[in-house]
Amino acid sequence: MSGILEFVTHPLNAVTFFPLVGVVAILLLAREKETLIRWVALGTSLITFVISLGVLGLFNPQDPGLQLVYDRPWFTVAGWTIRYVMGVDGLSILLLLLTTLLTPIAILSTWTAIQERVKEFMIFFLLLEIGMVGVFLALDLFLFYIFWEFTLVPMYFLIGMWGGPRRMYAAIKFFLYTMAGSILMLLAIVWLGLHYGTFSVPDILAQGPVMGPVQYWLFLAFAAAFAIKVPMWPLHSWLPDAHVEAPTAGSVILAGVLLKMGTYGFLRFNMSLFPDAAKYYAPWVALLAVIGIVYGAIVSFPQRDVKKLVAYSSVSHLGFVMLGLFAFTPQGIEGAILQMINHGISTGALFLIVGMIYERRHTRDLDAFGGLWKVMPVYAVLSLITALSSMGLPGLNGFVGEFNILLGALGSRVLGSYWFAGFAALGVILAAVYMLTMYQKVFLGPLDKEENKCLQDLNWREVVTLLPLIVLMFWIGLYPKPFFALMHPAVEHLLQAVLK
């Protein structure tokens, strides 16, 4: 009993598993009490967010290493001792906060949108939060893998049960695609475990990173899982399906957090475990990233389904993140970490925005709108800020990330060419093209469709859903110092280890 108490009072375990409390509570509630279930889910996720703020309070930004580490032997199977290792550092703290912030926001967005099987929906959603937080905190490869796979299950159901017409197709594709990459990662994890005698990442690194030719294979095996998740071009084919079919809240979490699991995986594992391979493959990764940036931006432009448009824009934005990571410069990596957060904020907000209009009009076809500013001015202004944030207008968050990524990539010794940044800068132009096209088709022009003439502007709940994200857009855009301060030492530490 005291063991359990000791377990749950550790802040990282508390923040990971607290949603379980909500799950149990909702299980005990009758399914007819939908409003109460919603409040329980929202309350649970809000408390989880508060706990994560507590973690932030305990976090020492000056310390480059892992903090609040919880490391216990877990169980023994066939003579193997699996350890349970959790910890947080400058690479993961912001992603933890992003996850715990986006979850209540996403839940709030379902208030009226989800009317069927509310109970199951909220259970899956809270389970999903456990998996996501676990992914960012787990430091044992075995534990990481379990959390990693675990996130698939609730997401599978969120898409498969509350999704659009082709939801089963999308859910299965999402599942299979991710599984395919994960299997290779699992093999690599097993190899590491056999070789080092442990799955614990700190223990492995204490023995020194993987050397020799095998690291190139291991890098690729991990990369397979992560590149699909990001998704890097050309492995992005599951993303538009998943986004188009997923319910709004699912899209918010999918774009906001799940994709970051891929980029985070590269940052956490590929770089520190296989530094030589990472440097060796950097130009190739950067090449795919730049292709993704440009390709994603071009392909977004002619889409008529707003969700598909935003989905492809994610391919472009995540390309920026990958380019920044593999530039191996402080600006590139810090810009990339910030851009992960930015993308979560901006694209999360974009999906919320799409959801709001979908709830009113039950269509996402760009040609069904036009001139909405006239009837929904608050919605139009908040959407404009979000669109500008997404396309990297200075003063808002996206710019700070993109600028540092491109700057870091241009001067990167590891990449060794100006052309990566040169071509990636095309993405800056093309982002304006697809974002403004979308904005114009929805909000500007004459209000000429009968169905749009009596649309209601946002209600208070909807404004409150968007407001935290809008505030963050300005905060990060104007004064990103506190965010960078959290990652400086960790990034420096990582770069020293990789570049030495």
Partner 1 sequence: MFLETVAHEGATFFHLAPLAVFVPLLGVLLNAFFGRRWGERGVAIVAVGASGFAFVIAVLQALSLMAHPEGAVVPIAEWITIGDLRVAWAQKIDTLSVTMMLVVSGVGTLIHIYAVSYMHYDVRYKGDPGRYARFFVYFNLFIAMMMILVTGDSYLTLFVGWEGVGLCSFLLIGFWYEMDILGRPSTANARAAMKAFVVNRVGDAGFLLAMFLTFWFFGSLQFDEVFPRVHEVAAEHPWVLLAISLLLLLGVTGKSAQIPLFVWLPDAMAGPTPVSALIHAATMVTAGVYLITRSHEIYAAAPMAQEIAAMVGGLTALVAASMAVSQYDIKKVLAYSTISQLGFMVAAVGMGAFVAGMFHLVTHAFFKALLFLGSGSVIIALERAHHPLPEEGGHGHEHDEHGHHAEHHDEHEPFNPQDMRVMGGLLKRIPVTAWTYIIAALALAGIPPLAGFWSKDEILLEAKHLQPVVYALLSAAAFLTAFYITRQVLMVFFGKPRSEAAAHAVESPRLMTGVLVTLAVLSAVGGFMNAPGVHAFGHWLEHTLGHVPVLEFDPVVAGVSTLIGLVAIFLAWRVYRATFAWTEWSQDPLRRYLRGLYDVLAHAWYWDELYQVVFVRGYRALAGFLAFAVDWTFWHDWFHDVLIAGGYRRLSRFLSQPVDLGIIDGIANGLGNSVRGLALVMRRLQSGYVRNYALAVMLGVVSMLVYVAWALR
Q: Which two tokens stand for residue 197?
A: 């005698």
For 307, other C-beta atoms within 10 Å of its C-beta total 24
Gap between the Cα atoms of 249 and 337, Å rounded: 23
**Nearer Cβ to partner 1, position 102 or 325?**
325
Instruction: Rule CB under 8 A: choose which of 77, 78, 194, 454 binds partner 1.
Output: 77
Among the listed residues 415, 166, 380, 108, the one whose alpha carbon sits nearest the alpha carbon of residue 280: 415
Instruction: Rule CB under 8 A: choose which of 100, 303, 313, 390 binds partner 1.
Output: 303
H-run or E-run covering 76: strand 67-77
498 contacts partner 1 (rule: CB under 8 A)? no
179 contacts partner 1 (rule: CB under 8 A)? yes
460 contacts partner 1 (rule: CB under 8 A)? no
Site string for partner 1, 393-432 (x = CB under 8 A): xxx----x--xx-xx--xx------x--xx--xx-xx--x
> How many residues form the binding site for partner 1 (CB under 8 A)?
77
For the CB of residue 222, give the shortest distance to partner 1 in the complex, in Å.
19
Contact 64, 90 (CB under 8 A): yes
Q: What is the DSSP letter of 232?
A: P
16 contacts partner 1 (rule: CB under 8 A)? no
295 contacts partner 1 (rule: CB under 8 A)? yes
Among the listed residues 399, 410, 411, the one whose alpha carbon sits nearest the alpha carbon of residue 473: 399
**Nearer Cβ to partner 1, position 123 or 249?**
123
Under rule CB under 8 A, which residues in 119-178 are in contact with partner 1?
120, 146, 149-150, 152-153, 156-157, 160-161, 168, 171-173, 175-176
For 238, other C-beta atoms within 10 Å of its C-beta total 20
Looking at the DSSP bridge assignments, the partners of residue 86 are: 70, 138
Under rule CB under 8 A, which residues in 83-102 are in contact with partner 1?
none
On the CB side of 159, CA atoms within 13 Å amount to 28
Parallel, antiparallel or unpaired: strands 67-77 and 80-88: antiparallel
Instruction: Rule CB under 8 A: choose which of 14, 220, 436, 455 binds partner 1.
Output: 436
Among the listed residues 223, 155, 161, the one whose alpha carbon sits nearest the alpha carbon of residue 188: 223
For the CB of residue 169, give the shortest distance to partner 1 in the complex, in Å.
8
445 contacts partner 1 (rule: CB under 8 A)? yes
Under rule CB under 8 A, which residues in 313-372 are in contact with partner 1?
329-331, 334-335, 370-371
447 contacts partner 1 (rule: CB under 8 A)? yes
Name the one residue in this structure whose structure tokens are 């901006």: 346
Instruction: Rule CB under 8 A: choose which of 484, 486, 490, 498 binds partner 1.
Output: 484
Q: For residue 353, count CB atoms less than 10 angstroms from its CB and return exposed for 0-12, middle for 13-18, buried for 19 or more.
A: buried
Q: With DSSP H G I counted as helix, E B as strand and the rest as coil, what are the percentages for the chain, rounded to 5?
A: 75, 5, 20
**Nearer Cβ to partner 1, position 216 or 403?**
403
For the CB of residue 7, give the shortest distance to partner 1 in the complex, in Å.
9
Under rule CB under 8 A, which residues in 191-230 are in contact with partner 1?
none
80 contacts partner 1 (rule: CB under 8 A)? no
247 contacts partner 1 (rule: CB under 8 A)? no
